[in-house]
Structure 1
């Protein structure tokens, strides 16, 4: 476990996992420590698993807007002693890493956003609703009725098969882990980031999207790619929001491809 000082002057913790070139990994939630990322299917990198402000063993701070968390990534890079670094963000964690690349493009080699949260991206007028998508994808599954009832009640603990697009022992084990999340959802999303902000992100950005991801949907990856001047999308078939849990080899191959392109 490593420790460095955040832009807010608080201590943040991270874990190094694996071997190979460094890959800074920002978890989602927002407000979740990074341990749930595991080894991301076994990518050929040393994962720098960051616990953001107020999560895991990291100290809280007054502000946890995702644009403020982006400043912590630059200080982590300096702490690691590297000139440029590859960066990955999962789910809500896509937005701090995008903000970081917008502010410090010369410090980022490659950027991967894995099943990014679509919160800042408006729902398109012709875009299928979540209800339409989950019915299309999962209505034939034996767990659909129970999971859909839980989803409608915002009981996401029992809706997990829809979020993972599967109900397997690996899914249940991963979903059962205590999240120990920090409660700063509104603060995190109080920041803004749009196409004008991302226009200067010239580094290669790979959006890894899942084609049964009820959280991200099907349209948001295309919108995000249009906001970025040098973006590509890799679609993972038959996967949900946590693809490394259900399809580790497929996820590993996509991330490795993104980091050598």
Structure 2
């Protein structure tokens, strides 16, 4: 399905299921929707709306702009396209940051926010050094994997096949189940649309400039929307970083799934489904 933003850019979107609307925001930045399994888990209780963010995946390639404000406007274009007054929003990783930013900008349009595997509202120093250390340790479980990852990381340009290989190596560390991790990472890269590096770099730089401020904490403290934080205990991004968001929010519930990593629906689908459906039911009562 095709929809258009207010500045005329074409976005890919898809809707399935029945029930109250739930819009999913994928991770990245610069990736694409990989929520097929999430939709399958939830579409018996919600109308699940998926979309590829600006310049990414199946959406129209462009030169930006790469700002959270612009992506918030694009998410609102998705809401309008489907004729919805209020939506539940589920964001994963970078998408959790986007979903939170949208909810802060338009609280009257959000029935509930599901914040999955995000990194909180503090500065990157709260989590990124430990993430990097854990990333290298996991890659080092297979010395050839770490060597190849470093080889690819040091190159100034990668072929599409090399870019896919690099992504799969890095994504393979994201799962707590180390035996299944390579296969799960391969599934994430099928189909392969290519990472939008410009988008990733610009939004990463914006985050480092603007996140972790007293103003952001104050906005979260004033948010009158129920929020579910759902984490995998095995996420290599330290879950303590999310404490900053949990402490700030007035209406928040947190679920930590002990046998899951950064993609909790893949390793504990029933636990993830139970947490999210409970949050959606709470929002409609």
Q: If the TM-score is normalised by the length of the shorter chain, which range does it land in?
A: 0.7 to 0.9
Structure 1, 235-244 or 165-174: larger mean CA deviation: 165-174
Hey, what does 1:235 align to over in structure 2?
256
The offset of 1:207, in angstroms, is: 0.9
Q: Give the Cα separation in 2 of the matches to 1:258 and 1:151.
A: 42
Query: Does the 8 Å CA contact 1:150/1:159 hold for their aligned counterparts?
Result: no
Gaps of 5+ in 2: 154-165
Q: Does 1:165 align with 2:187?
A: no
The offset of 1:161, in angstroms, is: 3.8
The offset of 1:256, in angstroms, is: 1.1
Hey, what does 1:94 align to over in structure 2?
96
Higher helix share: 2
After TM superposition, the score normalised by the length of structure 2 is 0.77
Hey, what does 1:38 align to over in structure 2?
36
- Structure 2 residue matching 1:213: 3-state secondary structure: coil
TM-superposition CA deviations, 1:170-212 (whole Å, max 9, x none): 5244244225322211222315343134333210011111100
TM-superposition CA deviations, 1:53-104 (whole Å, max 9, x none): 0112322253121232011122221221121110111110111111111111
Aligned pairs for 1:41-52 within 5 A: 42-43=41-42, 44-52=45-53
- Structure 2 residue matching 1:81: 3-state secondary structure: coil
Query: Does the 8 Å CA contact 1:209/1:221 hold for their aligned counterparts?
Result: no
TM-superposition CA deviations, 1:138-165 (whole Å, max 9, x none): 79xxx83448836983655324442112
Q: Does 1:188 align with 2:188?
A: no
Aligned pairs for 1:1-261 within 5 A: 1=1, 3-34=2-33, 36-40=34-38, 42-43=41-42, 44-59=45-60, 60-117=62-119, 121-124=123-126, 129-130=130-131, 144-146=141-143, 149=146, 153=150, 157-166=168-177, 167-168=179-180, 170-177=183-190, 178-183=192-197, 184-189=199-204, 190-191=206-207, 192-193=210-211, 194-214=216-236, 216-261=237-282
- Structure 1 residue matching 2:261: 3-state secondary structure: coil
The offset of 1:14, in angstroms, is: 0.4
- Structure 2 residue matching 1:144: 3-state secondary structure: coil
Q: Give the Cα separation in 1 of the matches to 2:36 and 2:144.
A: 25
Gaps of 5+ in 1: none
**Cα 1:39–1:152, aligned 2, differ >3 Å: closer, same or farther?**
closer
Q: What stretches of structure 1 move > 6 A for 4+ residues in a row? A: none
After TM superposition, the score normalised by the length of structure 1 is 0.83
- Structure 2 residue matching 1:16: 3-state secondary structure: strand
Query: Does the 8 Å CA contact 1:148/1:159 hold for their aligned counterparts?
Result: no
Aligned residues: CA RMSD: 3.0
